[in-house]
């Protein structure tokens, strides 16, 4: 500091500034964030990894990074209220003699009874039926509540085979062979002892109260050649009537889709890393698998290379929230989508009306993800009969139906603006990207340019 | 008595005909010729009939069986009687991997040997193997009994739940959380009943067997067991 004649310290060496010394602002590390530090302290105190529900919470390239190019001079739009924009979808016509017909391409993803209360399963069935779409069982078998209230029910065939039986298989409208899910590709299911009540334990042939760790591989087949034989067996058992889906978590979507189709699947279900789960290690949810945005184009490419696009249907999921997300997924080449988390929110999950209860659990409405503990204030991810009673399946089903109707209308709104008379006529050419990442992953140009990273010259 | 030749007519028609049988059907005995290692023969049966297969079968023969009795006069491929609910499956020869996988009930008898993962994830079935069984048998077995007159391969009963394993011969090694347990009278009685059901009463002495079951140490996540997971 330059000395000036006015500087009092220059003349008086004993001078002290009465003001406190300026201090730097407390600064948090971008690496050791408060979240990271709290996890280190939790790990150090417990010695066990963090288990939670829901999907990846980090920010990821997603459908928000894409925009539609509405029609103008070079394309003309459809009248919003007068001209038809179809939404129906047929699933499984490749081989099944009784394919599935849905009124909307938004299906309800597989969520197990056990992870969800019987009331929640019933509500999903009611809502989906009102909307003309399907629900899916989960790791734990089929309940009467769900079969009774769901007009179209997809029966999951999982590595654990909990509750798997041929009577339910015959009652189902389609069969979904689960290889993996987006929240944890390569991992098996998990349901902790708190939720293994007598009924749940009975359905799974397990002792009540144990921490259930489902198998991550199927017990009687490995690899695509065996899968083909497994599909053949399921078709033989059901006289070739039922569509057979194969569900994979997004990691190598090109090859997984190609192999599933080659093995004889009617439908491929592809779940990205934002996809919810009932309970999994946080490290698995946040670090394994790829976002759905990056997975759709390779999967569609695989089907196109085999001449099977639109013949083998592709259902995609993982973070779908709105009709815009639906329209974007379909424009990238999917035939339908599935929702898990969003459906639970529509039922009433994480609703601020239970804020006091969330606070008591050390969390807040919107952030509650300890679904494995079975204490859900909204009564959805629980087996506690008192909490489960909080969810009225009729009202919750109605909310889900409303939400599905809104999403469908939103998707139609976009499709009409792009001049499409059916949601399936949306195409990648209707899209542009806001970020380089999204442009590369979705293989559509950056907005305002013709540039698709990795495809066209710079 | 009905007979069906898989060299003459498609498998789908056979399975469909078997599925169409009512519980009170008069066509209670079926003979299937020419299986030639075909997969998914006589799957999803749901009537108290008896089916005899003359030859070797491929994967998943008698899969998801209910009520029916299926005899295979030959060897069976992967997953014979997988997810059986009830009834009886008898293989006169050897069987491949995952025999009786995830099955909830019924009785599976193998006259020869069984490959790896015999009884994997079993949920209540009784399996009797007169020969030996391969590695990783009874992996995550939840309920039911596995009786082996011969030897067991490596990692028997890994991550076992409540299934009971009776082995007369040697066990190469036990899997995580599987331990030898005391044979008490109740176990000898249970074993006797299973041997009897398999037509071995009087031929085999239950006291020559050792019993293996779950130590139940992995029933709850515990950091001190991390090495075992
Ligand atoms: C509570 C809950 C339970 C789930 N249980 C299963 C299951 O049993 N089997 C399965 O394949 N996927 C299961 N999933 C994953 C969903 O099927 C689906 O892949 C995922 O929820 C889709 O992503 P989204 O939640 O972002 O919509 C579950 C998801 C949730 C939220």
> Which residues of A fall within a CB distance of 8 Å from B117?
219-220
**How many contacts (CB atoms, under 8 Å) link A and B?**
109
The structure tokens listed for A127 are: 């809502």
Structurally, at CATH architecture level, domain A67-425 sits in Alpha-Beta Barrel (3.20)
**What is the structure's pLDDT at A191?**
80
Task: Answer whether A88's CB lies under 8 Å from A365's CB.
Answer: no
SS3 A335: coil
3-state class (DSSP) for residue A420: coil
> pLDDT, tens digit, for every residue of A231-278?
999 999 999 999 999 999 999 999 999 999 999 999 999 999 999 999
Residue of chain B minimizing CA distance to A158: B102
| A207 neighbourhood in chain B, CB within 8 Å | 161-162, 219
Residue located via tokens 């990648």 = A428
Q: Is the CB of A124 under 6 A from ligand 1?
A: no
Stretch B209-229: mean pLDDT? 79
Residue B74 CA neighbour count, 13 Å, CB half:
17
If you average pLDDT over residues B146-167, what whole number do you get? 97
Look at residues A107, A78, A75 and name the one whose alpha carbon lies nearest to residue A92: A107
Residue A213 pLDDT exceeds 90: no
Atom in ligand 1 nearest the alpha carbon of residue A116: 1
Q: Convert A47-74 into a string of H (helix), E (strand) and C (coil).
A: CCCCEECCCCCCCCCCHHHEEECCCCCC
- Specify the range with the lowest mean pLDDT, choosing from A103-112, A145-154, B33-42, B214-223: B214-223
Helix, strand and coil content of chain B, in percent to the nearest 5, comes to 15, 30, 60
| pLDDT tens per residue across span A301-326 | 999 999 999 999 999 999 999 999 99
CB–CB of B40 and A169 under 8 A? no
**What pLDDT was estimated at residue B226?**
58
Q: Please check whether residue B46 lies inside any domain of the structure.
A: no
Q: Record the tokens describing residue A11, joined without a space.
A: 């003349």
Which ligand 1 atom lies nearest to the CA of residue A269? Answer: 19
Residue with tokens 């679904």: A371
What is the distance between the terminal CA atoms of chain A, rounded to a whole angstrom? 50
The overall average pLDDT reported for chain A is 94
- Using the mean position of ligand 1's atoms as its centre, give its distance from the Cα of residue A110 in Å: 5
Give the chain A residue whose CA is nearest to the CA of B99: A220
- What gap in Å lies between CA B201 and CA A453, rounded to an integer? 73
Asked if residue A179 has its Cβ within 6 Å of ligand 1, the reply is no
> Cβ separation of B12 and A161 shorter than 8 Å?
no
pLDDT at B209 over 60: yes
Task: Tell me if A220 and B162 make a contact (CB, 8 A cut-off).
Answer: no
Task: Measure in Å the smallest separation between the Cα of A237 and chain B Cα atoms.
Answer: 5
Q: Which of A29, A14, A55 is nearest to A344 (CA)?
A: A55
- Whether residue B22 lies inside any domain: the answer is no
Q: Are strands B210-214 and B164-167 parallel, antiparallel or unpaired?
A: antiparallel
B224: pLDDT strictly greater than 80: no
CB distance A412 to ligand 1 below 6 Å:
no
In a mutational test of the pocket of ligand 1, which residue from A158, A181, A274 has the highest number of ligand atoms less than 8 Å from its CB?
A181
Backbone angles phi, psi at B57, to 5 degrees: -120, 160
> Residue A77 pLDDT more than 60?
yes
Contact A91, A99 (CB under 8 A): yes
Question: Is the pLDDT score of B170 beyond 90?
Answer: yes
State chain B's mean pLDDT as an integer: 95
Looking up residue B82, the CATH number of its domain turns out to be 2.160.20.60
* Distance between Cα B116 and ligand 1 center (Å): 32
Contact yes or no for B64 and A237 at CB 8 A: yes
What are residue B51's DSSP bridge partners? B30, B70
Q: At what angle do helices A292-305 and A253-262 cross, to 10 degrees?
A: 40
Q: Is there a contact between A161 and B102 if contact means CB atoms under 8 Å apart?
A: yes
Six token digits for residue A377? 């204030």
In a domain, B160, yes or no: yes
**Residue of the CA atom closest to atom 23 of ligand 1:** A275
Which whole number is the average pLDDT over A54-78? 96
- Is the CB of residue A163 below 6 angstroms from any atom belonging to ligand 1? no
How do residues B24-76 score in pLDDT, each as one tens digit?
999 999 999 999 999 999 999 999 999 999 999 999 999 999 999 999 999 99
Q: What is the pLDDT of residues A354-410, one digit of tens each?
A: 999 999 999 999 999 999 999 999 999 999 999 999 999 999 999 999 999 999 999
Q: Could you give the CA distance from residue A374 to residue A385 in angstroms, rounded to a whole number? A: 11
Q: Is A112 in the pocket of ligand 1 (CB under 6 A)?
A: yes
* pLDDT of A3 over the 60 cut: no
Burial status of residue B203 (CB atoms within 10 A of its CB: 0-12, 13-18, 19 or more)? exposed
Angle between the A118-131 and A393-417 helix axes, to the nearest 10 degrees? 40
Question: Measured between beta carbons, which residues in chain B are less than 8 angstroms from residue A206?
Answer: 142, 161
* pLDDT of A129 higher than 90: yes
Neighbours of B52 (CB within 10 A): 18
| Cβ of A342 below 6 Å from ligand 1 | yes
Asked if A239 and B16 count as a contact pair (C-beta separation under 8 A), the reply is yes
Interval between CA A366 and ligand 1 midpoint (Å): 18
Within A5-100, where are the H helices?
8-11, 34-46
Q: Is the dihedral of CA B221, B226, B228, B229 positive or negative?
A: positive
- Per-residue pLDDT tens digits for A81-114: 889 999 999 999 999 999 999 999 999 999 999 9
Contacts of B178 by beta carbon, 8 Å cutoff, 6+ apart: B138, B156, B157, B158, B160, B165, B212, B213, B214, B215
Search chain A and give the residue with CA nearest B16. A239
* Per-residue pLDDT, A1: 46
Atom of ligand 1 nearest to the CA of A180: 11
Instruction: Check pocket membership of A247 for ligand 1, CB cut-off 6 A.
Output: yes
Cα A205 to Cα A407: distance, rounded to the nearest angstrom: 39
Residue A2 pLDDT level (bands cut at 50, 70, 90): very low
Q: Residue B35 falls within a domain, yes or no?
A: no
- Residues found in chain B: 229
Q: Span A52-78, mean pLDDT?
A: 96
Q: What's the number of domains chain B is made of? A: 1
Question: 3-state DSSP call for residue B75?
Answer: coil
| Percent with pLDDT over 70 in chain B | 96
Of chain A, the percentage scoring pLDDT greater than 90 comes to 84
More confident residue, A20 or B132: B132
- Say yes or no: CB of residue A187 within 6 Å of ligand 1: no
pLDDT beyond 90 at A125: yes
pLDDT band at A201 (very low <50, low <70, confident <90, very high): confident
Give the pLDDT confidence score for residue A8 in this predicted structure.
56
The closest CB to that of B219, out of A48, A205, A211, belongs to A211
What pLDDT score was predicted for residue A214? 82
pLDDT for the residue A208: 86
CB B178 within 8 A of CB B215: yes
Q: Does pLDDT of B228 surpass 60?
A: no
Domain that holds residue B150: 57-215
Confidence (pTM): 0.95
Rg (CA), chain B: 18
Tokens of A145: 């509540």
Q: Tell me, what's the pLDDT at A456?
A: 76
Nearest CA in chain A to B20: A239
- Distance, CA A141 to ligand 1 centroid (Å)? 14
Measured in Å, residue A304 CA sits from the centre of ligand 1 at 27
A178 has a pLDDT exceeding 70: yes
Minimal Cα distance from B119: which residue of A? A219
At residue A207 the predicted structure's pLDDT band, cuts being 50, 70 and 90, is confident
């Amino acid at each position: 500091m330059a000395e000036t004649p006015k500087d009092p310290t220059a003349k008086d060496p004993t001078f002290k500034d009465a003001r406190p010394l300026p201090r730097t602002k407390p600064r948090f590390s971008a690496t050791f964030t408060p979240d990271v530090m709290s996890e280190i302290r939790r790990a150090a105190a417990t010695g066990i990894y963090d288990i939670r529900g829901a999907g990846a919470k980090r920010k990821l390239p997603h459908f928000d990074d894409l925009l539609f190019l509405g029609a103008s001079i070079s394309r003309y739009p459809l009248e919003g209220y007068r001209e038809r924009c179809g939404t129906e979808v047929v699933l499984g016509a490749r081989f099944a003699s009784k394919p599935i017909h849905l009124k909307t391409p938004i299906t309800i993803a597989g969520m197990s009874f056990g992870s969800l209360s019987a009331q929640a399963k019933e509500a999903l069935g009611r809502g989906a039926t009102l909307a003309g779409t399907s629900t899916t069982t989960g790791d734990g078998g089929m309940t009467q509540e769900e079969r009774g209230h769901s007009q179209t029910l997809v029966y999951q065939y999982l590595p654990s085979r909990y509750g798997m039986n041929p009577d339910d298989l015959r009652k189902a409208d389609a069969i979904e062979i689960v290889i993996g899910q987006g929240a944890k590709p390569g991992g098996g299911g998990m349901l902790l002892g708190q939720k293994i009540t007598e009924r749940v334990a009975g359905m799974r042939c397990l002792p009540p109260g144990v921490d259930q760790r489902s198998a991550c591989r199927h017990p009687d087949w490995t690899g695509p050649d065996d899968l083909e034989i497994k599909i053949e067996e399921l078709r033989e058992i059901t006289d070739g009537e039922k569509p057979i889906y194969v569900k994979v978590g997004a990691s190598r979507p090109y090859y997984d889709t190609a192999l599933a189709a080659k093995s004889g699947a009617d439908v491929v279900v592809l779940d990205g890393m934002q996809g919810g789960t009932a309970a999994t290690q946080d490290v698995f949810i946040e670090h394994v698998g790829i976002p759905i945005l990056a997975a759709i184009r390779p999967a569609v490419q695989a089907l196109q290379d085999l001449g099977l696009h639109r013949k083998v249907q592709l259902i995609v999921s993982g973070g779908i929230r709105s009709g815009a997300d639906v329209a974007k997924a379909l424009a990238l080449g999917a035939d339908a989508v599935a929702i898990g988390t969003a459906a639970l929110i529509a039922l009433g999950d994480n609703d601020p009306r239970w804020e006091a209860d969330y606070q008591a659990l050390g969390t807040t409405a919107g952030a509650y993800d300890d679904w494995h503990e079975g204490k859900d204030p909204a009564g959805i991810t629980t087996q506690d009969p008192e909490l489960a009673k909080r969810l009225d399946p009729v009202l919750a089903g109605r909310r889900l139906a409303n939400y599905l109707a809104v999403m469908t209308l939103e998707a139609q709104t976009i499709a009409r603006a792009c001049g499409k008379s059916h949601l399936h006529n949306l195409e990648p050419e209707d899209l542009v990207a806001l970020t380089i990442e999204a442009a590369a992953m979705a293989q559509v140009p950056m907005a305002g340019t013709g540039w698709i990273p990795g495809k066209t010259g710079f | 008595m009905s007979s069906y030749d898989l060299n003459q007519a498609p498998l789908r028609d056979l399975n469909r005909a078997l599925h169409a049988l009512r519980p009170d059907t008069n066509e209670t005995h079926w003979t299937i010729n020419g299986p030639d290692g075909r997969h998914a023969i006589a799957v999803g049966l749901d009537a108290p009939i008896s089916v005899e297969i003359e030859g070797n079968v491929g994967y998943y023969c008698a899969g998801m069986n209910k009520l029916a009795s299926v005899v295979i006069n030959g060897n069976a491929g992967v997953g014979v009687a997988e997810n059986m609910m009830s009834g009886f499956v008898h293989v006169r020869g050897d069987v491949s991997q995952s025999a009786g996988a995830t099955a909830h009930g019924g009785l599976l008898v193998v006259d020869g040997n069984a490959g790896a993962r015999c009884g994997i994830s079993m949920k209540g079935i009784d399996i009797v193997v007169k020969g030996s069984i391969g590695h990783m048998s009874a992996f995550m077995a939840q309920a039911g009994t596995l009786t082996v007159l011969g030897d067991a391969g490596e990692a028997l009963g890994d991550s076992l739940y409540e299934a009971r394993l009776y082995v007369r011969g040697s066990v190469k090694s036990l899997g995580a959380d599987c331990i030898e347990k005391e044979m008490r009278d109740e176990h000898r009685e249970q074993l006797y009943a299973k041997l009897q059901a398999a037509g071995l009463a009087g031929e085999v002495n239950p006291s020559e067997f050792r019993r293996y079951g779950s130590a139940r140490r992995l029933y709850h996540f515990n950091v001190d067991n991390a090495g075992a997971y």
